[in-house]
Amino acid sequence: LRAWPRPSETPDIRELARRHYDDVFRFCARRIGSELAADAAQETFLTAQRCLGKFEGRSTAKTWLLGIALNECRRQLRTAKPALSLEIEMTDGRDGEQTIVDREAVRRALAALTPEHREAVLLHEVDGLTYDEAAEVLGVPSGTVKSRIHHAFIHLRRSLTMSLEELT
């Protein structure tokens, strides 16, 4: 199954942006916050525009773009001021208090993971990628993704259990 269209059907970068901008934006928002996400998403597509000729179709366009986006998020986190870098505020005002508390607990538990484990979890659980797709984005074997997710969940459960014990 060829993920990339044949040369005669190759869409331009605008077509890619139309198809995948939402995914890329949300991907960035989850990692660096919605304030920085528009910049990161834009830079992702500008980078893709520069590199479109080098794309060989070994991965899907989406995972290729998300790989670029991941690098851009890391770059932004390196250059952003600490006060902004981890700012992720996504409550929509319709949540119950308990839901928000739960969310915060889960986010704290995620934040306590190693970057490798956290990224594998985000890619699969939140971004909805398969293990193979997550592996493409991360540039690691699919088995590594499986292992990272497994271990990440062990840690998540441990962290959340401890949080619950602290509350009670």
Binding site residues, another protein, CB under 8 A: 10, 12-14, 17-18, 21-22, 25-26, 29-30, 34-39, 41-43, 45-46, 49-50, 52-53, 76, 79-81, 84, 90-92, 95, 99, 102-103, 106-107, 110, 114, 116-117, 121, 124-126, 130-131, 143-144, 146-151, 153-157, 160
Output 13 or 67, the one with its CB closest to another protein: 13
What is the nearest approach in angstroms of another protein to the Cβ of residue 2?
19
Output 67 or 155, the one with its CB closest to another protein: 155
Tokens of 47: 């980078």
Output 59 or 118, the one with its CB closest to another protein: 118
Nearest C-alpha neighbor of 121 from the set 83, 93, 159: 159
Nearest C-alpha neighbor of 71 from the set 47, 36, 107: 47
Residue 72 contacts by C-beta under 8 Å, 6 or more apart in sequence?
Answer: 28, 40, 43, 44, 47
What is the nearest approach in angstroms of another protein to the Cβ of residue 168?
17
- Letter for the amino acid at 89? E
Q: How far apart are CA 110 and CA 48, in angstroms?
A: 29
